[in-house]
Amino acid sequence: MDKFMESKWFMRIVGLLLALVLYASVNFDDLTDKDHKNSSDNSQNVVETIEDVPVEAFYDAENLFVSGLPSTVDVEIEGTKAIVQQTKTLKGFNVYVDLNDIGVGDHQVPIEIENISEKLKVEIEPQFANITIQEKVTEEFTVESEFDESLLANGFEAENLSVEPKTVKVTGAKDAIESITYVKATLDVQDAIHETTTREARVQVLDRELNKLDVTVEPEVVDVTVKVVNPSKKVPVVIKEKGELPQGVKLESLSVEQKEVSVYGKGSVLETLEELIAEVDLSKITKDTVINVPLNLKDGLNKVAPEEVKVTIDVSTTKEKTVSGVPLNLGGVGEEYDYTIVSPKSEEVDIVVSGYSEELAALSTEDFILDLNLADLEPGEHKVEIDATGPENVKWELSTKTVTVQIKEKTTAEAEEGANENG
């Protein structure tokens, strides 16, 4: 025995047994605590509120109409946690008012509950309902359809508004039926309307002050249709110039290919529309050009066909032409002198002219006069400035602005010969 107790296996077996005893002790304490806690929870009352419990009414619904009865109530229940949780989850009870033994008129009636555990303390909020019982009346009314025209897309118009069915049956208390002033169905859409549209609309029954009446409607929903049109008109296109042509470019003509276009939009706007403007920017035109010009629309118009027009722009640009051999005219010469043009030797000057083609085509040497005023000049060589005149509708420049002239005195024989010739 001593050997066994001193062996490793003995110590291992004892350790295992001690561990099992300790584990069992701890778990037993936990189970005891849980059982005690559950017992404590079940014995302690809790309070819960069940909201929006529907109220059922018992009365002669075929001949009577009841108003003022709340559609739902809140039910507060108090009891043990298990019963309260079960009742709140299952909701097997009914909340009701019994009006079978109550006649026409105003009444305050208790709101009651059934099929609920007697172990619960129950409170209903509200506990009473102030109701009115009246004779039920059913009449047929014509439905008036409504539509907010601001919902129409730009330029579109509502041609017709209709509702189907056109009449509904309204049931309610006699005084409510007698106070009906409006039975309406309003078309409700989210996006802008640009075509004929049909939508379901709920029927509203209102009194003179637009208060909603407590009545039932059959059917509650009707179809409202708005027929949408897009009026049009044909108008001429007028070209409007914008900006100026670059230097050296002259406008010859502007023409538009589409003389007339179709414009769509509101009738009231079309009535005042006489033309559409095609605005042409000339600031970048340097040669004959064909461009597409968009047509802009003012508010109330939504479409033009075509959307742009073709405009042809014809221009002419300045060119250069040289008028050669314009003669020099000597003025202020004396009989006693000989005059020789040293430079230019040809005794003629070239002129470079800038202008438009049609202006240049008709120019010749006869359009320019080049005069040299030699009066009061002594014998010798002189540089004389040319006095030139020419057309004002073109720009021109002389190949030289001065002429070199040699002046010499004539011999006696030459002078006499010249005098004889003049005589």
* Residue 243 belongs to domain with CATH number: 2.170.120.40
Q: Are residues 265 and 329 in the same domain?
A: no
Pairwise CA distance, residues 216 & 65, whole Å: 10
Q: Which residues pair with 319 in a beta bridge?
A: 355
Longest dimension (CA), the chain: 188
- Give pTM, 2 decimals: 0.51
> Domain ends where: 317, 351, 378?
317
Q: Are residues 237 and 165 in the same domain?
A: no
Q: Are residues 128 and 54 in the same domain?
A: yes
> Domain ends where: 229, 245, 265?
229
The domain total for the chain is 5
- CATH, residue 92: 2.170.120.30
Q: Are residues 52 and 112 in the same domain?
A: yes
Q: Are residues 219 and 291 in the same domain?
A: no
Q: Are residues 203 and 256 in the same domain?
A: no
Each residue's pLDDT, cut to its tens digit, for the chain (423 residues) gives 455 455 666 666 766 776 676 666 545 444 444 444 444 444 589 999 999 999 999 999 888 989 889 999 999 999 999 999 999 999 999 999 999 999 899 999 999 999 999 999 999 999 999 999 999 899 999 999 998 888 888 888 888 999 999 999 999 988 899 999 999 999 888 888 888 999 999 999 999 999 999 899 999 999 999 999 999 999 999 999 999 999 888 898 999 999 999 999 999 999 999 999 999 999 989 899 999 999 989 888 989 999 999 999 999 888 889 999 999 999 988 888 899 999 998 889 999 999 888 888 889 999 999 999 999 899 999 999 999 999 998 899 999 999 999 999 887 655 555 555 554
Instruction: Classify residue 134 as left (phi > 0), alpha (psi -120 to 50) or beta.
Output: beta
Written as one letter, the residue type at 406 is Q
Q: Are residues 125 and 216 in the same domain?
A: no
Q: Are residues 365 and 407 in the same domain?
A: yes
Q: Are residues 153 and 98 in the same domain?
A: no
> Domain ends where: 189, 205, 229?
229
Token pair for 108: 């305050």
Q: Are residues 214 and 255 in the same domain?
A: no
Q: Are residues 289 and 348 in the same domain?
A: no
Q: Are residues 325 and 397 in the same domain?
A: yes
Range of the domain at 306: 232-317
